Every structure is written in C-alpha cells, then in structure tokens.
Amino acid sequence: FYSGIEVSQFGYELFWLPVSVQGESAKREILNGLKLLNSLQGLDAILLFRGGGSPAELALFNDYDIAKAVALSRLPV
C-alpha cells in the first residue's frame, strides 16, 4: 500500500499507526487505534487495511464492535 501511494506522488501525507490485524490483541488494538485517530486533528480519513488472508483470518473485519466503531467514526474510514 505504502509503496503504491509513494509512487503515485499525489501529495498524500500519511500518519502510520500500526496495529495487529490478527491474534488475541487485534480487536483491542484496532478499536483503540480508531479511537486515537478520531481524536487527532488534521486528519482527513482513516485507512484500515491489511494484506490478504484466509476467510478465518479476515473474519475480524466483520466483528460487530469494529463495524460499529467504523460507522460511528468522525472521519471517513
């Protein structure tokens, strides 16, 4: 993702907040990350992404609490 944005030279300024996207702490880290990013000034949007994975590994992104946090986000996600 980063290299694609960098090569495009569209003038984006990215603020990186790495979080786990699988494993025991992933849900908590994603929810805390969304909360933190929504509290910062000067951001235009939040990108939440990961590389591929099996359906089981991607199931976290179907979690109700994460979907709710995205829907209630002050910023577009």
Task: Note down pLDDT in tens along the chain; length 77 residues.
Answer: 777 877 887 777 888 899 998 889 999 999 999 999 999 999 999 999 887 788 888 889 899 999 999 999 999 99
Which pLDDT score, from 0 to 100, does residue 54 have? 84
Alpha carbons 52 and 43: distance in angstroms, whole number: 26
Contact between 27 and 65 (Cβ < 8 Å): yes
For the record, the structure tokens of 45 come out as 């949007």
- Do residues 77 and 44 touch, judged by C-beta distance below 8 A? no
Q: Coil, strand or helix: which one is 26? A: helix
Hey, is 28 helix, strand or coil? helix
pTM score of the predicted model = 0.85
